[in-house]
Amino acid sequence: MVSHYLARSLSLGPDYDKKGTSAIWARNPNGKAVVFIHGYGGDALTTWNEFNKHLPESPGFEQYDFIFYGHDGLYTTTTASATLFCEFLNRLFTQPLTIINPSLSISAARRQEFQYSKIILAAHSLGAVIGRWSLLFARDRRYTWMNKTTLVLYAPAHMGARVVRLALESRLGILSSVVSSFIRFSSPLIDELAPGSQELQALQQKTLAAINAGDSPYLIAKKVVFAAKERIVTNLPFPQDPAPITFAGTTHHSVCKPKDTFLDPIDVLSKAL
């Protein structure tokens, strides 16, 4: 059986390539895509481990493009990362062929009229903060594509996170005041993602103001997933978002990793199609 997909790595120059951004392109695209954005210290692909295997075989996704966006989840501020992501999305919506065709063979290249009509933003942890800020920046710049986006959030960090614990668990597995201070100094995200931080308060206030203005429904998540055994982010609902879904037995890291016996992360995504 011929696959519905052509797997190719993106070619966006050193600023993107070094972050591991990659994609799986549909053979017969329908103008829709899922863009995955990872969290703190994550990776464009490993954060979403198994999505790249299961999604191409999942009903309803056969003509979707899948893009795994890489960014600096350690040393770049949330708003700086969101600015870059906003421009990436703007390029996807306004000049998609400049991203797609360089990574395809001549015979598989998309036609000039190809455009995206819908993009689902699947975000994990810090990715939820970056995703929301990017849509707010797009609104400020009067871009016209935001209503074509949908947010699906896994273990979002927009209500705060214990990032020092996450950083230590990821790298050292041991807590010391010296190491903690060094990580905080090296990564501005430690303080930016702390519960009640200036950045998170600004995100909430600006988001609610845009939603209350009545012109920004895209800022309300379609689906929100919590991990049952969460030790990193605060499991408090973001104002205006729908009631969260909790996956039993999952942790902050496993909540967004489907497998043969755990397809719930994909089922949630399918409800946003």
pLDDT digit string, tens, across residues 54-71: 988 899 999 999 999 999
Residue with the bigger pLDDT between 8 and 129: it is 129
pTM: 0.91
Neighbours of 45 (CB within 10 A): 16
pLDDT for res 5: 81
pLDDT for res 19: 74
Domains of the chain from N-terminus onward: 5-159+200-270 (3.40.50.1820)
pLDDT digit string, tens, across residues 120-173: 999 999 999 999 999 999 999 999 999 999 999 999 999 999 875 555 454 444
pLDDT digit string, tens, across residues 210-222: 999 999 999 999 9
Q: Is the pLDDT of residue 1 over 90?
A: no
Name which of 35, 48, 3, 33 is nearest 259 in CA terms.
48
Confidence of residue 18 (pLDDT cuts 50, 70, 90): low
170/38 Cα distance (integer angstroms)? 14
Tokens 């972050």 label which residue?
Answer: 19
Mean model confidence pLDDT for the chain? 88
Name which of 71, 34, 70 is nearest 52 in CA terms.
34
Q: Beta-strand (E) ranges in the chain?
A: 5-9, 22-26, 32-37, 65-69, 118-124, 149-154, 223-229, 245-251
pLDDT digit string, tens, across residues 75-123: 899 999 999 999 999 999 999 999 999 888 898 899 999 999 999 999 9
Locate 123 and state its tokens.
């975000």
